[in-house]
Amino acid sequence: MSSCNYARLYDAYYYAHDCGRPYQRDLHWLGFFGRIADQIVSRIGPCTVLDAGCAMGFLVEELRRRGVECYGVDISEYAIARVHPDVRPFCWVGSITEPFPQRYDLIVCIEIVEHMPAAEAEKAIANLCQHTDDILFSSTPFDYKELTHFNVQPPEYWAELFARQGFFRDVDFDASFIVPWAVRFRRKTEPLPRLVREYERRFWLLWKENVDLRELGREVRSQLVEARGNQANVAEIADLLAEYEWLRQQLLRERRAPYIRTLFRFWQLLHSVRILGWRLIKRLPSPVKQPISQTFVAEFDNLQSVSILIENQPHPLSSPLQITLTAADDPECILMERTISPHQLPAMGVLKLEFDPGGKTENRCCRLVINAPGASSGDTFYLWGYVRPGRHGGKLQWGDRPLRGELVMSATYGIPPCTFPDRWQPPLWSTTSLLDLEALIKVAINLLVNR
């Protein structure tokens, strides 16, 4: 397949649907390439740069904004037509297998060659190496699902192609600010023994890290065996088991992908955890399958409303939501019973249920039940709960199964208009107040990489 045959694949549909998220001029992509440009300027400091496979020229734009003479080439006429007018004269339509007009201090090639047939990709590598002595390179070793990925290869495949051109990995340069598998290849003129020395030095560090992790795993296992002799210390056994399993998973990841660090995987798992009013909250199991119930003790007389935090996205409920508030010891004593249309539910936010004041309710144990009996299994409706309980005597359940923590809930007492919230009202309760731990971990990773 020649370049002219597959160039037509990279059209409006490709950039709208095949890049993970729509590839367009927005804060996400400008921020992504802006961070890459900052790293290139501060850690490499080139005067001239070529972005081989520049798409809509975002990296060219960001580098030129920082005073670097940057150019871009891409095979997609659709993409080049959408380059910003300020940098359009410095970008052109072309294949990276064809000679460039000059040599450059640095060539950047990010996630491009996997889109090319093997023979074309090999020609492209040779062409890049003829026009620079320094290349920032990445090509996914994992993503076989994308239809235009004709040539997904492991890192060693590309390293061999570069080595044939006299380029070798800079083992002291961490290029993971692009993607975890990114590499800086540089033309090396040192004798072979010196190159072997550099690779052995890096291999030794990775080998030592792996050995130390194994040794730590054995130590944890020994502590686990010793702790099992004391059945009274159940919590310590559970903690050691969890730590041992974590270390075992770490060793597996080190074997499979030594350049992918633990934090990169960790933040992906935090999409269901947030911080609300400096307390950890988590997404609870869906009441679509079984009802969620929360018992709580009313603090004052005339309980007249309860509020809960819900999430009704990305696939909202297709049937009404049923909510019942009863006395915990007498289910027949109903304080409030509501059937709420799915159209009245917010995508993410507070659902407040008001009802007639309940009279003598102080110190009374109540039970709130939320159920969606008619919902389909594909509906994504969730309640949010605190990781650790705070209310006295509270009990959170999913069907008959007890859950740790308690529902994010607030009650209001009094007779309108003289009403007042209980002391469990969160200090901040809005969509913007839900601090995203996943985003915090991403910030922490960037700070560690940039140190």
Q: Render pLDDT for 31-48 as a digit per residue (tens, 0 to 9).
A: 999 999 999 999 999 999
Whole-angstrom Cα distance, residue 394 to residue 406? Answer: 7
- Would the pTM count as exceeding 0.75? no
pLDDT recorded at residue 259: 44
pLDDT, mean of residues 126-145: 94
The three-class DSSP label of residue 202 is: helix
Q: Render pLDDT for 315-324 as a digit per residue (tens, 0 to 9).
A: 899 899 999 9
Percent of the chain with pLDDT over 90: 55
pLDDT, mean of residues 250-255: 68
pLDDT, mean of residues 5-27: 87
User: Is the confidence at residue 355, as pLDDT, over 70?
Assistant: yes
DSSP secondary structure letter of residue 299 = -
pLDDT recorded at residue 246: 82
Nearest to 49 by CA among 133, 112, 140, 125: 133
Q: Cβ distance 113 to 141 under 8 Å?
A: no
The three-class DSSP label of residue 234 is: helix
Count CA within 13 A, CB hemisphere, residue 345: 28
Q: Render pLDDT for 391-448 as a digit per residue (tens, 0 to 9).
A: 887 899 999 999 999 999 999 999 998 999 988 877 655 554 555 555 666 665 565 5
Whole-angstrom Cα distance, residue 283 to residue 322? Answer: 19
Whole-angstrom Cα distance, residue 276 to residue 253? Answer: 32
Q: Where are the domains of the chain?
A: 3-189, 201-260, 274-437
User: Is the confidence at residue 265, as pLDDT, over 90?
Assistant: no
User: Is the confidence at residue 232, as pLDDT, over 60?
Assistant: no
pLDDT recorded at residue 228: 66
Q: Render pLDDT for 155-202 as a digit per residue (tens, 0 to 9).
A: 999 999 999 999 999 988 999 999 999 999 999 887 777 767 776 776
Instruction: Compute the C-alpha angle 168/173/176, nearest 5°.
Output: 105
User: Is the confidence at residue 30, as pLDDT, over 90?
Assistant: yes
CATH code of domain 274-437: 2.60.120
pLDDT, mean of residues 336-361: 91
- Amino acid letter, 99: P
pLDDT, mean of residues 229-258: 70
pLDDT, mean of residues 215-242: 73
The residues near 414 (Cβ < 8 Å, ≥ 6 apart) are 300, 302, 304, 357, 420
User: Is the confidence at residue 123, as pLDDT, over 90?
Assistant: yes
For domain 3-189, the CATH architecture is: 3-Layer(aba) Sandwich (3.40)
Q: Render pLDDT for 49-60 as a digit per residue (tens, 0 to 9).
A: 999 999 999 999
Q: Is 432 buried (19+), middle (13-18) or exposed (0-12) by CB count in 10 A?
A: exposed
Q: Cβ distance 336 to 325 under 8 Å?
A: yes
User: Is the confidence at residue 314, as pLDDT, over 70?
Assistant: yes
Q: Render pLDDT for 67-115 as a digit per residue (tens, 0 to 9).
A: 999 999 999 999 999 999 999 999 999 999 999 999 999 999 999 999 9
